[in-house]
Amino acid sequence: MLFKHIASSFLLINLLSGCLFQITETPDSLDVHDADDSLAKGSIHINGEAWQVVDVLAIQNNNNKNIIFTDHPFNRDAFTADGKLDNFDLLRHKGHTLTLNFEGINPNSCIDYTNNNGAGSKCSTDFPDSITLKTNTESGISGAIQWGEQNTDHIQVTFEVPWSSNHKRVGEPLPENGGEPGAVLLAYFSALANGHFEAIKAELLPDHVDVTKANKRGEKLESISLARALSPKSIKILDGTLYGEHAVIHFSGHYAGTNPPESMKGVAELVLYQERWYVDKISELH
């Protein structure tokens, strides 16, 4: 499934914090292997940015499989703090990523990526033929990708990585209105709709806010104006789950810039920090 970058209400968080917001069909949670079990090296140049591969994860969910490359080591200790890896662990990852997708044993013709410019997908009929698999077993997968030219867009990597397996994450349901985390999420969207910069910052996890970016008044006003215009309206909380100091909330809304208004659904992660809930990550669900 393709990564999505949300150029709407979440744009402002992206500009403040440098965070990337995308959606992937990773399973609810996964067992994670040690980094020593995973080997990957090579170079990637996609969407105007070049980087070196230093780490890799391989995830399988029924018939769908994903291999995720990055230029920054995956923080497996943080991923497994609750004994599992889930999609929000991947959303929290700060490095560039490139995801190779499989349907059964066949590689997809589209790859997904995240970088400093956002997130997106790139499709080519050449992708499947550029992938050479050495092994593809129940325990792991290995091989190489040789696509493109060195000085232009390219993926030239080798990899050997075990599969991570499904594991159900357990949490406690939040009240119907989302409880305290739900109130914070609604306050964030309300502040965004009204264009109140300080109120928006107040609802974001403090270490997400880069004050050096916020100090440029012109950029700040432009960011608020664009994010306000593109943000979803009439936000309604659908359900939520509490995982210790983390809360995951599903919500719905609509985009006012379309006729008729386009409905949407999203998922947000909030974090309890110094006895207060803050918005951490937001993604759009399709």
Q: What is the pLDDT of residue 184?
A: 97
Tokens of 174: 């939040």
Q: What is the CA radius of gyration of the chain?
A: 19
**Whole-number average pLDDT of the chain:** 76
User: Shortest CA distance to 1 belongs to which of 125, 159, 121?
Assistant: 121
131/194 Cα distance (integer angstroms): 49
Between 35-39, 150-154, 241-245, the lowest mean confidence (pLDDT) is in 35-39
Instruction: Give tens-digit pLDDT for 101-140.
Output: 887 677 888 888 888 767 788 888 888 889 998 998 888 8
Task: Choose between 102 and 26: higher pLDDT.
Answer: 102
202/67 Cα distance (integer angstroms): 37
How many CB atoms sit inside 10 A of residue 68's CB? 23
Instruction: Give tens-digit pLDDT for 166-224.
Output: 444 567 899 999 999 999 999 999 998 888 888 888 898 887 665 435 445 555 556 66
118/100 Cα distance (integer angstroms): 17
Q: What is the pLDDT of residue 149?
A: 85
50/180 Cα distance (integer angstroms): 42
| pLDDT band at residue 87 under the 50/70/90 scheme | low
CATH 3.10.450.50 region(s) of the chain?
Answer: 172-285
Query: How confident is the model over 11-39, as a mean pLDDT?
Result: 43
How many CB atoms sit inside 10 A of residue 215's CB? 9
Task: Choose between 163 and 41: higher pLDDT.
Answer: 41
Tokens of 266: 């999203």
Residue 236 has pLDDT above 90, yes or no: yes
The answer to whether the beta carbons of residues 98 and 142 sit under 8 Å apart is no
CATH of domain 172-285: 3.10.450.50
Query: What is the residue whose two structure tokens read 């050495």?
Result: 134
User: Shortest CA distance to 124 belongs to which of 159, 148, 150, 160?
Assistant: 148
Task: Choose between 20 and 102: higher pLDDT.
Answer: 102
